[in-house]
Amino acid sequence: MARISDLIENIIKQMIEENDGMVEITRGELAEQVNCVPSQITYVLSTRFSCGQGYLVESRRGGGGMIRIRRVELPTADSYLIHTLRHLGNTLSQNQADILLRNLLDQKLISLREARLINAAISDRALIIIDIENRDRLRLNILKHMLTGLIVRDLNVSQ
């Protein structure tokens, strides 16, 4: 059974897709639809619909707590990857990495094979020999270099 966070994410993504890249919702209505508390909606929005993941979220207090979620439309896959790189923080947990890779895959910016290779390189299993305090920083560093490599993939490998 899917986690409630996954269910909320899928519902929002479906709504965005059905509405040409932008949707307006209220936390309360969506929480009622999914049978959860509004703070769960807030959690999903902050972890799965960030600017670095290709979304712009605008929130208005009052009036039912209207939230506008817009998919960022960038002209090329490379510009989207550059946008993602610029908005990554200082660390990246395994869960955050999974969400980011799924978003890149959903946007068809990376192939399934590339997603699997990146995941294998940055998974907790691969980084098990690194102490926990440094693991998320190293994961982020590896991911940044791999995404940068995808941006310049058209260059000759020997250069």
CATH at residue 45: 3.30.56.130
In a shared domain, residues 56 and 117: no
42, 85: one domain: no
- The whole-number pLDDT of residue 63 equals 56
Q: How far apart are CA 72 and CA 19, in angstroms?
A: 14
Of the candidates 2, 121, 99, the residue with the CA atom closest to the CA atom of residue 55 = 99
| Whether residue 67 is found in the same domain as residue 130 | no
124 vs 141: CA distance, rounded Å: 14
For residue 146, the domain's CATH number is: 1.10.1200.150
% the chain with pLDDT above 90: 42
In the predicted structure, residue 155 carries a pLDDT above the cut 60: no
Residues 86 and 131 in one domain: yes
Please give the residue range of the domain that contains residue 60: 4-71
Tens digit of each residue's pLDDT (9 = 90 or more) over 41-50: 988 998 888 7
Last residue of a domain, one of 41, 71, 101: 71
Percent of the chain surpassing pLDDT 70: 90
Residue 156: pLDDT band with limits 50, 70, 90: very low
Is 110 found in the same domain as 63? no
Q: Are residues 35 and 88 in the same domain?
A: no
Distance, CA of 84 to CA of 146 (rounded, Å)? 12
Per the structure, how many domains does the chain have? Answer: 2
Q: Enumerate the β-bridge partners of residue 43.
A: none
In this prediction, residue 158 has a pLDDT band, given cuts at 50, 70 and 90, of very low
User: Is residue 11 a part of any domain in this protein?
Assistant: yes
User: Do residues 98 and 52 share a domain?
Assistant: no
Q: What is the pLDDT of residues 88-130, one digit of tens each?
A: 889 999 999 998 999 889 888 899 999 999 999 999 999 999 9
